[in-house]
Every structure is written in C-alpha cells, then in structure tokens.
Amino acid sequence: MNLSKYRKEIVFLLDLLIIIIVGITLFLVLPEINETANSNFVSLLPHIFLLILCEAISQYFFKTYDSLWRYAESKEYLIMSFGGFSGYIFYLVVDYYILSSQIPMLFSLATYSISLLGMLLMRLCYRQYRKHGKDKNNRERITLAIIGAGEAGVKLQEEIVSNPKSRYHTICFIDDSVEKIGKRIHNIPVKGPIMNLEKLIMNTPVSEIVIAMPSISPEKQRAILDLCSTIKCRVQILPNTLELLQNNDGEDLWKSVRDIKIEELLGREQITLDNKEVVKFLRGKIVLVTGGGGSIGSELCRQIAKIKPKKLVIVDIYENNAYDIQQELRQLYGDQLVLNIEIASVRDRDKMNQLFDRHRPNIVFHAAAHKHVPLMEDCPEEAIMNNIFGTYNVVQASQQYGVEKFVLISTDKAVNPTSIMGSSKRFCEMILQSMKKASKTEFVAVRFGNVLGSNGSVIPLFQKQIAQGGPVTITDKRIVRYFMTISEAVQLVLQAGSMANNAEIYVLDMGQPVKILELAENLIRMSGHVPYTEIPIIETGLRPGEKLYEELLMNSEELIATANQKIYIEREKNISQKEIKKKLKILTRSLDTKSLTEIKKAFKLVVPTYRDPEEVNQLK
C-alpha cells in the first residue's frame, strides 16, 4: 500500500499523538496539576484538544504540513518553531476568554513546548533516516571528493544529501582556504591544500572528483586538471554557473556538472576574436558556403546565421548533412533567415557558374574538400578533382560573378606536406596566391590545426574506445599535433574574412602542440581508469602520408602581425596564373594515365615542398 499520498494526514496524526502522550505524562508527574483537576484527567481533555486545534490551525497557516521533511533545512524548522509559538499565544487567548481556565500555565506551556520539541525531533529523525537509513549498499555508492568548499561545493553536497536517489557519498572537501582546512562542513572534513590532491586522497575510497570552483581562472583550472590527470578517478567539473547561483539559489546545480571537455586539457585559454568587424563584414550580405554540411561548414553557417545575412546559400554534395543543417537553422530562425540549400559538387564547373549566377553571392567560404589523409593516399585522383579543381572552379566563379571576398579553409597539413591531401590543400593556397592583383575579388586562406570534435577526428575515437574498455590506438607515440575547437576555427575564418588583405594566408597562434600519447593517457585517467593496466594503449604505426610533427608555418621569415595578436599573416612569393594553369595541365595529364604512381609524381612537380613522409619522419 502506498502511504505517500497520505503523508500530511499521517504527520498530523503523529503530532496529535505526541501532544496527547505529553499531556498524559505531565498530568501524572506534576502533583499541582492533579490537585487543580481533582485527580480527574477528563477535566484536562478540553484543554488538550484546544492545544491540538490551535497547533493545527497555526501549522496549517504557516504551511508546515506542505514541507517535504526529508529535504528540510534550518528554514523549515524555524518556521515550524515560530508557528508553534504563535499557536500557543492563540491557545492562551482562547483558553482564558472561552474556557476560563483554572489549569496552571505551567501545564499548558510545558505540554506545548515539549510537544513542539517532540514534533521537531520526529521530523529530524525522519530526515536522518531518509539520509542514512535508506542508503543503498555501500558497494553500490559512488565515493566522491569535491574540490572547492565554497558556496558551489556546499550546495552540491546539499543536493546530494537531499536527493534520495543519489548514489554519491562525499568523502571530503578539498580546498586551499586556511580557515576551512581541518574543519568540517555538514560533518564532512575539509582537506587541503589542493596542490597535495594525490596525497590527500591516496588512502581514501574516492572514485570520482568534482571540481566545484566556477569562478577560478583558466590557469588555476588547468593546474587542477593537471593534478587530477595523475589520479585514477573519474573527473567532472561544475562550469561557470555564478548566474545560476545568484538567480536561482543554486537549484538543480548538480545538473550543470559535466565531464571534462577535451579542450580544457589543451593547456591554453580559449581564443575569442573580435566580433564587431565580423558583423560589419557579413550583415546584410549574400553569403555562400561550400561544404556547408560538414563539421567546419555547418558551424560556419550557424555563426553566419546569427549575424543576419541578407541570404545564406549552403552548397554540399552530401544531402543528409545539408538537410540536417537546413532543419536546424529553420527551427532556430524560421522566416527570419533567407536560406537556400543547393545539392551540388564543386567539381562541376558549369553547376558552380549556374549557382553563382543565380544567387550572386557577396562572400564565399570554401570549406568543401576531402580531408582524410590515408584515404587520399589511396585515391589521389579524388584529391585532384575535388580539392584542387573544385577550388579552382569556385575561385573562377567568384571572380566572374564579382564576389567581394573568397575565404579558403586550409590546414596545417599544407605546410611542407607529406601527403596527397596536404599537397592538394597547399596547391589550393597557391591558386589563391595567383589571384593577387588579377581580380577585384579578395582571396584569403585560413590555416589551422586539428579541429576537436570534427568528423573523423582522433578525440571522439579515443572516447569511443575508452567507453568500450579499450584498447586505445595511436599510430605513433611520438606524434604531436596542434588542436583547436570548432568554435575557435570558425571565429578565425570569419575574422580573417573581415580583414582587408588580399591573397594572404592567415595563421592562428595556437600555443604549444600537444602530444597525442599524453592526450590519450589523460582521457583514460579522467574517465576513472588506469592507462596501460585497465585500458591498454596500442601503437599501430604511422598511416600512409602521415608525419610525426605538423607545422603551421612554411620556412618563411615573412611573418606579419595583424591587429589581433593571435592572428598572423604568412606571405609567400607570388605565383602567376600562367604557372598555375601549367601545373593544372600536369595534374590533368597524370589523371589521364590512371596511375597512382604517375599522379604522385605529378604532385611532386606542382608542389615543390611536397616530400615523402619517410624522408621527413627520419629527420625528427
């Protein structure tokens, strides 16, 4: 039988029982009551019932029977105490004027005070029972350490205690505050300082750590994450939720706790670029994005849509991706965004000309390209037709139909390339360089490293492998890569587009490169596992075309700063359109041979910096 729906009635009956028991007990133990009532308890019954009535009316008025006492805090107990005091005053007035009481005030005061104390004690015992008595078996509970004994950390602990379904059991707080270290909060010890984290939890059953310090600096957060990465514990974090704490009293704060994002392990701050120039650049313009359904392309479309262009045209050969971004933008903006989806391949020159003639774009972002290095090693002809001739077709259409600005999405793999994909992207940069002073259209390329979370990137692969219990596979333990988030990449592209330069290559200062092996180890530890012991890490060998160290700059001394200290321009020697056309003919002839060997030879002829990966990796 489910008694929870009769909760109020049950609590009231228990309160009534407490008052009756206290009244009878006091009648038996206080001689002066016996003398006044002539040893007749029946004469006391009207007073006891009046006490019950006044108590019920008072507590009903203060709505204490609506409280869920398993979640009660000091506020609820204070309200009930105040309600009890008010009820007793009400009783005295009624008893004096209606019953003309001959009962000593000592009896009524003692009865009401002890009864109220008993009611409060009953509720407190119930709360403790719900807190401890109904806990799951200790083996099923998740033992927790909360880093941060401030407001956020304490509220998290309060939510854990008040939630009967919570499986968490907090072992300790860890903080740097000298005033808190050695003390207890909600009977939980506060340890510290944080820099001794590994030592502090070494001999404890802690299996998870929550970083509950939403106002700390990025540098402090990274330092704490570095400490956590050395410990076999799953690590979660409470992000910046100060607004939640201030406006909502921290309600449902636990819902904001999340796993560590990989960008938080990169060792540098998130890069935020100037948006004012970007808004001025795009607002009210017709913008066309090729490859608009891909990882970078779709994020470009999202950011552009926010700026309110006159029209957004998304071009993609893969209809499913194009459909997904179309539905997303339509749901967000409805009729406020003029949106056109064009299913087309950049390889088709006539189709590109047709689309440019139809839409007459002001700005073009060219993100359409094959990007997977090993696949292009096996299919180099696809890299030529899609990456190189596709770019050439869009560049020519941009010039012919008066596009104001053309922005190419390039990659760090274009720098001293060792792969077909990297070489094809370097050739695309060369196509743009040949347009300098040859067109009214401004052409720029944006070069950045690996994008976190993009389709086919290494991080989602690692996370999937960890979830499956391993092994985690890396191609070579020496591999180093630059990383950036999709948001950073798109901001860079938009910022570069807004700068008044032509035929330049923009490069982002991405900080220090990251060792893939260390990244894999940290991900495993942050997931609560031990690298090599619980989750193996297997080296599979470099893939075709892959090199150990990516670069962002060519061997050029012409690195020019821009107004933004995170963006630089790398200027290369100009190349003529005549030379580009000559190189395109070389590539076309290689395609006619249908020979992978001849196609790769052609790449070495047209991209002077292209070398075999074995040659480059041996030098490292």
| Axis crossing angle, helix 420-433 with helix 577-593, rounded to the nearest 10 | 150
At 468, list the tokens.
């499956």
Average pLDDT rounded to a whole number, residues 187-193: 91
Side chain identity, residue 479: I
Which stretches does DSSP call E strand in 227-273?
234-237, 258-259
**Torsion (CA) 372, 377, 378, 379 in degrees, nearest 10:** 70
pLDDT at position 328: 95
Average pLDDT rounded to a whole number, residues 65-71: 57
Q: Where in the chain are the domains? A: 4-133, 138-260, 276-451+483-510+555-618
CA dist., res. 503 & res. 444, Å (int): 5
The percent of residues above 90 in pLDDT, for the chain, comes to 33
Q: Is 137 helix (H, G, I), strand (E, B) or coil?
A: coil
Side chain identity, residue 64: T
CA dist., res. 3 & res. 329, Å (int): 49
DSSP 8-state code for residue 543: P
At 470, list the tokens.
């391993």
pLDDT at position 555: 46
CA angle 478, 483, 488 (to 5 degrees): 175
Pick 464 or 29 by higher pLDDT.
Answer: 464
Cβ density class 517-529: b for 16+ within 10 Å, e for less: bebbbbbbbbbbb
Average pLDDT rounded to a whole number, residues 150-177: 86
Average pLDDT rounded to a whole number, residues 82-106: 68
CATH class, domain 138-260, is alpha beta
pLDDT digits over 539-574, tens only?
888 777 666 666 555 445 456 666 666 677 777 778
- Let me know if the fold of 138-260 is the same as that of 276-451+483-510+555-618: yes
Q: 């923009």: which residue's tokens?
A: 506
Pick 613 or 5 by higher pLDDT.
Answer: 613
Name residue 506's beta-bridge partners: 446, 569
pLDDT band at 36 (very low <50, low <70, confident <90, very high): low
pLDDT digits over 202-243, tens only?
888 898 899 998 888 777 887 888 788 778 788 888 876 544
Lowest-pLDDT range of 13-27, 368-382, 588-602: 13-27
Q: How far is CA 484 from the centre of its chain?
A: 15
CA dist., res. 145 & res. 235, Å (int): 10
pLDDT band at 246 (very low <50, low <70, confident <90, very high): very low
Mean pLDDT across the chain:
80
Task: Evaluate whether 233 touches 528 at the Cβ level (below 8 Å).
Answer: yes
Domain 276-451+483-510+555-618: homologous superfamily in CATH: NAD(P)-binding Rossmann-like Domain (3.40.50.720)
At 172, list the tokens.
């300790």
CA dist., res. 299 & res. 509, Å (int): 21
